[in-house]
Structure 1
């Protein structure tokens, strides 16, 4: 009887440890090319997720066979290709790709021709010349169920591009924007607002700026999420040109009724945070923060440039974020995030896998569960 009790206690302990254990990831090399952006979607409509990164798409599920689709401009150690947004632009049933870069200053889309033209480069169509593009994101700005394109152009106007009947309409929001951009419902009115480096822009009030915080050289996106479960959205901000990953807790000053923002440290050991995702990696139904250091972000001119690179997820434990390391070390051992990464279930496992491009290559991190 005593032995049975011991066995039961051991099994219970193992079960508890399994449920509390961090998610495990298996690294899978895809390519050595140094593009910094990647997306996952079914390129050829065969029912299997594929990867698109830079000038190539890689056939799933093995991602060993690749096809040339473009000729992105090379500028020193960069490619002028700072996003890979999947979107069916011309309504032909095939998913196209939206990108843009710093040097051309052009937002453009590549037309998926795998149906009529299985091989060869995809036609490139200019959307607009907008100025230097840090990166671009797709957010449903007007709430109609279709995402709009929003480029981050430091020092230029903030605008978004609405797709209608195969053409894009530019809609201006604010005369200027800084380094960093986010989108989400800040004030709880059900409408998505823009977050810029020096405040937030109220969608319900003709994009009026509320200068309630200063985020520095934030990365993209600034996440607008309820971290602590108090029904108010907070901000998660990584520094793109220095050290620091923080969350800003939204509160209310009772005497005045004014909104407040309390800055909390998540991580101060890493620099050059350029992209992040808020996604459930552990399968517990609660999202984690996925992010890391961008490898050789700015020609080794920023603080932390010589540090090892790392990819991490941070789990909220009810009081603070707990860091879990996915890959860490020098280039080739660790993994940098690039500027635009993808999360998707690549194998039908029910778990979220990670696709990361960067100057240290393209890799998949298969989620093996806890």
Structure 2
């Protein structure tokens, strides 16, 4: 009897040791259908179509930055970056299309990169280092023609760079900040030749990823890709023509079919369609692409992000409808402003598949949005600025409150 009791106690002790580990693993990965988001509508007027995140006031918490305003975590108190202006989405557009954060002047405070309407200026706004005043506006360049310019680390030096085109030159270039004696200048390095295709005003489709598998990320447009040199001082880059689909928003790369090369994901900016482009080699060893449709049921997918939503180790797609993209006149322009995530299913033996999950149907996306674990709970959150306002979709554990408007 005593021996049996000892055995039982040992088994219970083992269970106590194992169970917490099991619970942690179960909480880390969530079944797709169980993923829930709490909707926080931070602002209900149209003034931006981009949003980003960063610790603005250096308090250790991630704040939300959207155009002329930033919202202080954790209670989302609003602060103005420049004088707020309300826009009428039935008649026009705002002066904030895409937003990114980086420490431009290297003073330890995050600054705002803001792209205006396509073909107009791109500015950086200097963080006033905790002071409650408007941020100083500084010009980076007078023309940024692409609809989806990028802020990425092109040269791998650990600092973000800007990538966009100039329709007057017909040239794509990347810009790096240079700080000397507290003064900021921007070094411009050409990617394309002059008068290149796909760089005109309102050009749709721009992406960054390793297309040829040489370990260096290349730059894509829908008509092909520029092969990045190993020496980033080289200019211009070699262009390879390719059919990468229809006019789109951001272009993303990932090896979806497990064949060792990156495929390309894109979404229709003003029509219907979410696609992946399967990469392969033709008989002449050129990289070619075959288009596959992921979804075609909603339109105006003017921004897209590739991130792991449910912690299963696979990157999922997050996208939605850009509300009143062209004042409701485009294909499906008056349909619901949906926001979806597409759960990637991939077993390494067959083509990829996705399960579509609705997050919301009265918000949509803008030109660019951000994803981040805002409250460090291990769950990915979504931050959006568009014609419906500013939104923070907080992912919550299954069983908790789903929405709050």
Q: Normalised by the size of structure 1, how large is the TM-score?
A: 0.87
Does the CA contact (< 8 Å) of 2:365 and 2:385 recur in 1? yes
Question: Which among 100, 114, 126 is matched to residue 115 of structure 2?
Answer: 100
Aligned equivalent of 2:189, options 171, 183, 188: 171
Deviation at 1:62, TM superposition (A): 1.9
- Contact 2:222-2:242 within 8 A present in 1 as well: no
The verdict on how the C-alpha distance between 1:292 and 1:66 changes in structure 2, with shifts beyond 3 A counting, is same
Q: 1:330-360 CA deviation, whole Å, 9 max, x = no partner?
A: xxxx221111111111122111111111101
Work out whether residues 148 and 205 of structure 2, in 8 Å CA contact, stay in contact via their aligned partners in 1. no
Aligned to 1:207: 237
Q: Which residue of 2 aligns with 1:140?
A: 153
Structure 2 segments unaligned to the other structure (5+ residues): 1-25, 347-351, 399-405
User: How is 1:232-271 mapped onto 2 (pairs within 5 angstroms)?
Assistant: 232-253=261-282, 255-271=283-299
Matches within 5 A, 1:266-305: 266-305=294-333
In 2, are the aligned partners of 1:101 and 1:133 still within 8 Å (CA)?
Answer: no
Is the 1:109–1:125 Cα contact (8 Å) retained in structure 2?
yes
Normalised to the residue count of structure 2, the TM-score between the two structures is 0.80
2:77 corresponds to 1:52 = no
- SS state of the match for residue 143, structure 1? coil
Query: What is aligned with 2:366?
Result: 338
Aligned CA distance change for structure 1 residues 141 and 83 (closer, same or farther; 3 Å) = same
Residue in structure 2 matched with residue 181 of structure 1 by the alignment: 206
Number of aligned residues:
346
- Whole-angstrom CA distance in 1 between matches of 2:124 and 2:84: 12
SS in 1 for 2:303: strand
Report if aligned partners of 1:154, 1:179 keep a CA contact under 8 Å in 2.
no
Match in the other structure for 1:326 = 359
Is 1:32 aligned to residue 44 of structure 2?
yes
Task: Write the distance in 1 (CA, Å) between the matches of 2:289 and 2:163.
Answer: 25
Distance 1:316 1:283 in 2: 11
CA contact (8 A) 1:291 1:313 kept: yes
1:104 CA drift (Å) = 6.6
Contact 2:165–2:171, Cα closer than 8 Å, also in 1 = no
Q: Is the 8 A contact 1:72 1:80 kept in 2?
A: no
Which has the higher Rg, Structure 1 or Structure 2? 2
For residue 341 of structure 2, the aligned residue among 313, 330, 341 is 313
Contact 2:144 2:164 in 1 (8 A): no
Secondary structure in 2 matching 1:21: helix
- CA 1:103–1:252 in 2, change beyond 3 Å: closer, same or farther? closer
Name the residue aligned to 1:192. Answer: 217
Cα displacement (A) at 1:18: 6.1
Partner of 2:246: 216
